[in-house]
Structures are given as C-alpha cells and as structure tokens.
Amino acid sequence: MAVITAGVAGSQNRVAFLDAIAGSEIGAALLAATDNGYNVLVGSTLENPLTFPSYADHPNILNKEFDSTAAGRYQLLHLFWADRTVDGELVQGYKNSLDLTDFSPLAQDKVALQQIRECHALPDIDAGNFTQAVALVAHLWASFPAAGYGQHQNTLESLLESYVAAGGTVAA
C-alpha cells in the first residue's frame, strides 16, 4: 500500500490509483517480496529481485537489457527525477520542482501524483472515472493498456480489480 495518506494525497481514490499502478508495474508477489516495490529496479522479477539499498537519492542504475534507469514503486526514470538541459534550457526534475530531499517512499508517492496531475487525470480519479483516468496516464506506465512500449501490458480489468481492492470507488 502507498505510504501517503488519503488526506495528504487528496482522496482515497488517489491512494488506490497509486496502488493499482504499483500492482501493474511491480506485481503483487514482488511488492510482497520487497519494500512494497519502493526499492525495485527495472527488470526485477520474483526469481531475480533487483533492488537498491538506499533512499537517499534516485539510484540512477542503468539496466542495459531495458536501456532504462526506472526505479521505485512507480518505475520513475532518472531523467525525470534530476534537473536536465533540454534545447539549452534548464528543466527542473521532480526532485527540485517538488522540493524533495530524497527518493523515499513518500517522495515516490508525491512524484507519481504529480505525474498524474500533469496528465489532468486527478479529477477523473476523484470522480471515480477510472477508465478515463487510465487512458490519460497510460503513456506513463509501460504495463498499462495501450502504453505502446512493447512490454507486457496488463488489462484494464486487472487494473480496476487492484484499484477497487485498494479502496477505490468507481462512478455509477
């Protein structure tokens, strides 16, 4: 379960949506075998759990097989965590834009919520419009339906099941 509270997140539906993302990206078995996915590196499996030892900062460990630095419960790329230069302009990463001091579980929850906010999906999540919210954020998580990354994608039904099991409500 996400460490952020419903009060801090803004609603129980938001916390449940975070849990659905983690279940999709990490899987229930690996969530149970690790620190609830917060310390998981891309490419991790139950048979070969790849984890990082410290939450001091994003680990920035490249998995060459996946050509990815994705890490944590929501598989955030280092590219988006740290400041970077794009076309000669400095772009703040989530660490600085959200004034985070570490890559702790709470920091990871806050980043995932910010990513969802940037996709304008929070109103749909709050209203229980689950299918619409998934469609708005699908490009962020490779395991989501229609993400288009060429990796395993979970079904909308399995995401919805995780969401409801985590206490999320769906509009009638």
- The 8-class DSSP code of residue 138 comes to G
Q: Which 3 state secondary structure label does DSSP give 140?
A: helix
- The closest of 5, 3, 16 to 125, measured between CA atoms, is 16
Query: CB burial class (10 A; 0-12, 13-18, 19+) of residue 19?
Result: buried
DSSP string, 106-130: HHHHHHHHHHHHHTT-HHHHHHT-H
Decide if 25 is catalytic. yes
Q: Which 3 state secondary structure label does DSSP give 18?
A: helix
Cα separation of 32 and 1, whole Å? 10
Amino acid at 18: L
Cα separation of 144 and 122, whole Å? 17
Active-site entry in 25, 47, 89, 157: 25
Q: Which residues are catalytic?
A: 25
